[in-house]
Structure 1
Amino acid sequence: MPKYLFSIVESEAAYAEGGQANFDEIMQAHGDFTQAVKAAGASVVSGEALQPTATATFLRGTRTDHVSAVDNPSPEAKEVIGGYYLVEAADDAQALELAKLCPAPFGYIELRPIWDMG
């Protein structure tokens, strides 16, 4: 089955302001999403939540002698990648239908097919 990356792009500030009850509700929605994927005959290969961008390290000049850590190159970004799912689905149409179910209450889902390099 082809694989698809569902990038969860959202506002970190909205999560910080939402409180524990809101967070718990969203986590339940993610549990419901993974069950919906299974029920559709697809599968979640992996999925993770990322820590806030304040914990990130940004590197410039990788694979050169001049690699350096830099300040956040996009500090004005209102929405950032907060997590992802790697999903195996039958085809593009099924992946799109599943992406419509993926929780992103404070942003959006970016859906991309994965190159099959095999």
Structure 2
Amino acid sequence: MVDQYMFLIVEPDWDSDAYQGDSDRIEAEFPEFVVFERRVEELGARIVGGNALQSRKHGGTVRPGRDGRELEDAVWTDGASLESDEVITGFYLVEAESDEVAKQLAVGVPTGGHVESRKVFDFGGGQEG
């Protein structure tokens, strides 16, 4: 059975604005992501989703209000919720045959920080695998 794993890349925030619309620069400055993608294939796994996230200034945190999940009751805070110099800067969603393969892949995710690896819970509602 194939399971899905989410790899969250946690590291110091980055200047995503400096790379906006410049995919050639991204490929040139971050070749380790191509190496990781090849490793995924070598281990018989498959990337089914993933991307970089913009810097924390382009995000925020919302806490539902006391009276439910209505917009006017919500409390918004600019920036990421982590009380740290590190934020989630990107993610990969991969399918792998075993926890052992997922661990091998998690170790190879390029980062200047660390990777949080989580097995995706299967609700059994239409996902194959």
TM-score w.r.t. length of structure 1: 0.82
Q: Which amino acid aligns with 1:4?
A: Y
Moved over 6 A (4+): none
CA contact (8 A) 1:26 1:103 kept: no
Gaps of 5+ in 1: none
Distance in structure 1 (CA, Å) of the matches to 2:62 and 2:86: 20
Structure 1 pair 10–94 and aligned structure 2 pair: CA distance change class (3 A): same
Length-normalised TM-score, structure 2: 0.75
Do residues 56 (structure 1) and 59 (structure 2) align? yes
| Percent identical residues | 34
- Is 1:35 paired with 2:41? no
Unmatched segments (≥5 aa) in structure 2: 20-25, 125-129
TM-superposed CA distance for 1:35, in Å, is 1.0
Residue identity opposite 2:30 in structure 1: M
Bigger-Rg structure (1/2): 2
Deviation at 1:57, TM superposition (A): 2.5
Corresponding residue to 2:85 among 56, 70, 78: 78
Residue 68 of structure 1: CA displacement? 2.7
Letter in 2 for 1:99: A
Q: RMSD in angstroms over aligned alpha carbons?
A: 2.5
Compute the displacement of 1:77 (Å): 1.1
